[in-house]
Structure 1
Amino acid sequence: MSDEKQTGHDHHHNDHHSQSGGHHGGHDHSHMVSDFKQRFYISVAVTIPILLLSPMIQQFLNIDLAFPFDQYVLFALATFVFFYGGWPFLKGIIDEVKDKSPGMMTLIGLAIIVAYGYSSFVVFGWPGKDFFWELATLIDIMLLGHWIEMKSVMGASNALQELVKLMPDTAHRIGEDGKDEEVKISELKAGDHVLVKPGEKMPVDGVILEGQSAIDESMLTGESVPVEKAKNDEVIGGSINKEGSLTIEVKHTGEDTYLSNVITLVQEAQESKSKAQDLANRAAKWLFYIALAAGFLTLFTWLGLGFTFDTSLERMVTVMIIACPHALGLAAPLVTAVSTSLSAKKGLLIRNRTPFESARKLDAVIFDKTGTLTKGEFGVTDIIPVEGEENEAILQYAASVEQHSEHPLATGILNKAKEEELDLEPVEDFSSMTGKGLRGRVAGKDIFVVSPGYVRDEGIAYDEEAFDRMASEGKTVVFVLVQGELAGMIALADMIRDSAKETIATLKERNIDSIMVTGDNKQVAHWVAKQLDMDEVYAEVLPDHKADQVKSIQADGRKVAMTGDGVNDAPALATADLGIAIGSGTDVAVETADIVLVKSNPKDILSIIDLSRNTYRKMVQNLWWAAGYNILAIPLAAGILAPIGIVLSPAVGAVLMSISTVVVAINARMLTAD
């Protein structure tokens, strides 16, 4: 990796080990789910005696359970439900009023405060009927709605801990005497010398003093091929040393490391993600204003018509309580719960609901290349033999030598040999020439599988035109030498997923732009984009600039989804309107995303868009059912038909409310994924 790729990380720092804000507070989230569950169960238990003690319910059921001071017992039970069950809503009012944005909490809060306040006055002598049963059932249903909703919004994010986990805990520090000792990472200082053995992770950012090796940076940068590094090259903390032992000088520790910068970017993006009000909240906001206006209009109208203050107030209270729809509290959560379980069956894990619901409005889908559009593993695309040589023989020689190598290119060659059902010969005198290739004796012949650099250094002639053509397509070419003579070239490339072609073709039909943003080089990126017929390509994008690229595409006014699988994608996933992680990717990408594709199939992006559209449609239907009942019930409760003797009694209002809730529940169950 060039030096410029290591610069430009001078973002401001904050405590990366603290949980980020917004919707990503993991522990708090699970605590809130269990809190709503507990409040719901306890409130339901206390509601049963409240219903039995309520005169209105006794009248409705034609039973008589009266006993001395029964109204005071009723008041005590209702007071418990009001303060214990209603607490989240009472607290929610304060938050919404502070934000000057009344929503569901304010609407529920208004109804329960009016019901509790008025009913308490009635118990202590005010003429009228109490609404304690209405208060208790409203709190129960709203607690149930919130509990369902929070359970189905799957867990907040542990992205920051996952990022921190990428760093090893210890390092081998080389002392004055040249011996290495194991120390905690936190004890390292800039200028220390550290030994990194094959297979270990780089403990910190640094510069190689001795040794050379192939370094796997794919987790961090998305670069699919391990990068050959030698003396004076920079290394990134968290990347994996594949082959040789390295001595590195520590450059950055702690908060100055590349990985810490990525953590900062993720944190900032998560915190700045808008907490969009969902549909039900917007409906609740309007109903709140309608309830207030209708309540006071009812009070003054009845007073103006000459009725007593008690009667007028009872009408006002009835209107304000009926204005809070029980069904509205369940309209969105029930659809959410059904869509979450439907999506899970299809291999889509919805982690953050608001962006998922807006997926129906997407204008562009950004794909990372490696591991998303491609499999992230090499496959053989071409074998070019020199005259007189056979493809099979070249592949057999190369695979026989490569069977002892861990390199991704070796895996690609071995997979091709397996596909062709070739028998591999045993290899003798095997050795790895770091940065140049491999050698070994196969069937009594010296076989070299080497890089273009080795062939040039040795002055061996080869078909430069074929080589340049393959290199310009971004393919990696290795040369196979038999007894010092060139036998042929094998070209390998990161294999494109078949499902990626279908996905991009379907997105085109829907007028959704497909965009590739990758850290890989331009030739590779353009070759892949051409195969897939993509709309836009941005190559050689530095990891910390991916999020900026997302922002610049959003700046055109486009709604953007980002699909990725590496650590380098995490800030971009958090910045996009919808972050989609490929399930086979790193834990960090998965933790930062709004949706995870468990099957790692890009076609599932189409399922997300379909399910989002269907979910939204069901929600709108449910909200109309829920609010529609109220739009009809409010004028009836206000007494618009009183002149002809029809006044909606609270008991009839309760029955209508129950029917509305059942309709909403049935409608939610009818949601389909297609």
Structure 2
Amino acid sequence: MEHGDNNGHSHHAMMLEDFRKRFFVSVVLTLPVLFLSPIIRQGLESAGVSLPTIEGASYLLFAFSTLIFFYGGKPFLTGLLDELRSRQPGMMTLIAVAISVAYIYSSLVVFGLAGKFFFWELATLIDIMLLGHWIEMRSVMGASMALEELAKLMPSQAHRIGEDGETEDVALKDLQNGDRLLVKPGEKLPADGRVAKGQSSVNEAMLSGETTPVSKEKDDEVIGGSINGEGSLEIIIEKTGSDSFLSQVIELVKQAQESRSRAQDLANRAAMWLTVIALSAGAITLFAWVNLAGYDFAFSLERAVTVMVITCPHALGLAIPLVIAVSSALAANNGLLIKDRAAFEKAYEVDAVVFDKTGTLTEGKFGVTDIIPFENVSEEEILKLAASVEAESEHSIARGIVESAEEKYPIKDFNSIPGKGAYATVEDRQITVASGSYIAD
């Protein structure tokens, strides 16, 4: 019953680090490519910038661009193979075709083919696409961190009660349905189950969002990961492993990570058609310049390559990851777990939203709003007496009473009434602070 499986998180962390490293290395290598590119140098010189002549500039361009192509472009080249194997050409195919055409053609120009270089276009295209995928991986990592936080809700051990009544500490993976567990005050519940003995209030805020502790007594259901209050509980395990409530929540977050939004699907379909259009336009351009316009093959090939390279949309590769990253970050920062990205994209069609008030529209903190005195006791005295008793309690309502009082009396003989309240001796009087249901009983 282990929830702390970090394999997915480690995989995403490695991919994030890989894209980050490839991006920065490629950017550094792009600087000399830009400086050595003839079209960039011509633009600078026309602006009055004097640049030194560099011997063997074309070979240096080839060397730097080769490093960028094989190191920075590797994710896209391997992505091309994956998409072709799955027969679903998309963004990776479009990027890989563009950078491959630019690299192969420019390399042929270096070694004798008449034409111009596309090395700087190759380098900047790889840089921008690496940046886009790095940003996208950061958004995925945000969801992975949410999984880690959910997994941390579970304790590492549980107090299992044996047939002889003795308790032993065991790992969660050793628990089975039907085991009897002891949960002490303030501890996290190690499994889903049902109360067999005891009374207490349980804080389920991290799981349900409801900040008010829920009173639990015999036969009530409890959720693993929630926090026990002031009383001890004995519970019988009913759900372990993937059947537990927390495991199902974690599974929902994983499914959200793996789900693709409509925008991503649309971008992939657009990329597939752009790949077809780019290759077709390049072939038509080559045919037209050679057969219809009568130009030589080298001149016509340069035009065809130009068409194929400029067809690859830099914006498409960067815009979608940016949208996903920003929307995911905003959602995560505001405590919103997205179950399905496709549904999340339709949020603009929502006409009405229903909120759970406590802890969502309000802070979920308790305080004193009204005091109704009796027997000529002042409001200040009632609050002081109540706060004195509740100062020893861990209950969230008790904390609200204590924070509302300016002064407290010293007390003795404090006792908790699990799920109901508490009592103690204050100023030689027994003072009980309890719920309405306790007083009614």
TM-score interval, smaller chain: 0.7 to 0.9
Once the two structures are TM-superposed, the CA of residue 388 in structure 1 deviates from its matched residue by 5.5
**Which residue is equivalent to 1:10?**
none
Once the two structures are TM-superposed, the CA of residue 408 in structure 1 deviates from its matched residue by 1.9
Matched, 1:169 2:156: yes
Give the Cα separation in 2 of the matches to 1:191 and 1:90. 53
1:408 to 396, 407, 422: 396
* Contact persistence 1:58–1:64 (CA under 8 A): no
**Which residue is equivalent to 1:395?**
383
**Which residue is equivalent to 2:14?**
31
What are the Cα deviations for residues 120-139 of structure 1, in whole angstroms up to 9, with x where unaligned?
34445444344334433433
Equivalent position amino acid for 2:79 in 1: G
Superposition pairs for residues 45-56 of structure 1, below 5 Å?
45-47=28-30
**Which residue is equivalent to 2:104?**
117
**Which residue is equivalent to 2:366?**
378
Residues 92/389 of structure 1: CA separation in 2 closer, same or farther (3 Å cut): same
Once the two structures are TM-superposed, the CA of residue 115 in structure 1 deviates from its matched residue by 1.9
* Contact persistence 1:155–1:351 (CA under 8 A): no
Aligned-residue sequence identity (percent) comes to 56
Once the two structures are TM-superposed, the CA of residue 157 in structure 1 deviates from its matched residue by 1.6
Equivalent position amino acid for 2:396 in 1: P
Once the two structures are TM-superposed, the CA of residue 331 in structure 1 deviates from its matched residue by 6.3
Once the two structures are TM-superposed, the CA of residue 253 in structure 1 deviates from its matched residue by 3.3
Once the two structures are TM-superposed, the CA of residue 317 in structure 1 deviates from its matched residue by 1.6
* Contact persistence 2:262–2:345 (CA under 8 A): no
Once the two structures are TM-superposed, the CA of residue 209 in structure 1 deviates from its matched residue by 3.6
Give the Cα separation in 1 of the matches to 2:313 and 2:76. 15
**Counterpart secondary structure, 1:374:** coil
* Contact persistence 2:204–2:226 (CA under 8 A): yes
Matched, 1:431 2:415: yes
Once the two structures are TM-superposed, the CA of residue 90 in structure 1 deviates from its matched residue by 2.2
Residues 217/109 of structure 1: CA separation in 2 closer, same or farther (3 Å cut): closer
What are the Cα deviations for residues 38-67 of structure 1, in whole angstroms up to 9, with x where unaligned?
333444455566567666667775865445
Figure out how many residues of one structure are paired with residues of the other and give that number.
428
* Contact persistence 1:29–1:155 (CA under 8 A): no
The structure with the largest strand share of the pair is: 1
Superposition pairs for residues 159-238 of structure 1, below 5 Å?
159-238=146-225
Superposition pairs for residues 455-466 of structure 1, below 5 Å?
455-457=439-441
Give the Cα separation in 2 of the matches to 1:31 and 1:278. 25
**Which residue is equivalent to 2:48?**
none
* Contact persistence 1:153–1:351 (CA under 8 A): no
Once the two structures are TM-superposed, the CA of residue 199 in structure 1 deviates from its matched residue by 1.8
Give the Cα separation in 2 of the matches to 1:272 and 1:330. 19
1:448 to 417, 432, 435: 432
Give the Cα separation in 2 of the matches to 1:165 and 1:129. 58
**Counterpart secondary structure, 1:228:** strand
Equivalent position amino acid for 1:39 in 2: R
* Contact persistence 2:23–2:72 (CA under 8 A): yes
Residues 406/281 of structure 1: CA separation in 2 closer, same or farther (3 Å cut): same
**Which residue is equivalent to 2:249?**
262
What are the Cα deviations for residues 629-661 of structure 1, in whole angstroms up to 9, with x where unaligned?
xxxxxxxxxxxxxxxxxxxxxxxxxxxxxxxxx
Give the Cα separation in 1 of the matches to 2:319 and 2:356. 36
Alpha-carbon RMSD across the aligned residues, in angstroms, is 4.3
Q: TM-score, normalised by structure 2?
A: 0.77
Once the two structures are TM-superposed, the CA of residue 402 in structure 1 deviates from its matched residue by 2.4
Equivalent position amino acid for 2:153 in 1: L
Give the Cα separation in 1 of the matches to 2:125 and 2:67. 14
Give the Cα separation in 2 of the matches to 1:356 and 1:54. 46
Superposition pairs for residues 477-496 of structure 1, below 5 Å?
none
* Contact persistence 1:33–1:147 (CA under 8 A): yes
Once the two structures are TM-superposed, the CA of residue 267 in structure 1 deviates from its matched residue by 3.4
Once the two structures are TM-superposed, the CA of residue 348 in structure 1 deviates from its matched residue by 6.8
**Counterpart secondary structure, 2:370:** strand
* Contact persistence 1:58–1:65 (CA under 8 A): no
Superposition pairs for residues 201-600 of structure 1, below 5 Å?
201-272=188-259, 274=261, 276-277=263-264, 288=275, 291-302=278-289, 303-324=291-312, 358=345, 361=348, 363=350, 364-386=352-374, 390-418=378-406, 423-457=407-441
Give the Cα separation in 1 of the matches to 2:28 and 2:216. 68
Q: TM-score, normalised by structure 1?
A: 0.53
**Counterpart secondary structure, 2:97:** helix
Equivalent position amino acid for 1:182 in 2: D
Once the two structures are TM-superposed, the CA of residue 304 in structure 1 deviates from its matched residue by 0.7
Give the Cα separation in 2 of the matches to 1:37 and 1:396. 58
Give the Cα separation in 1 of the matches to 2:15 and 2:68. 18
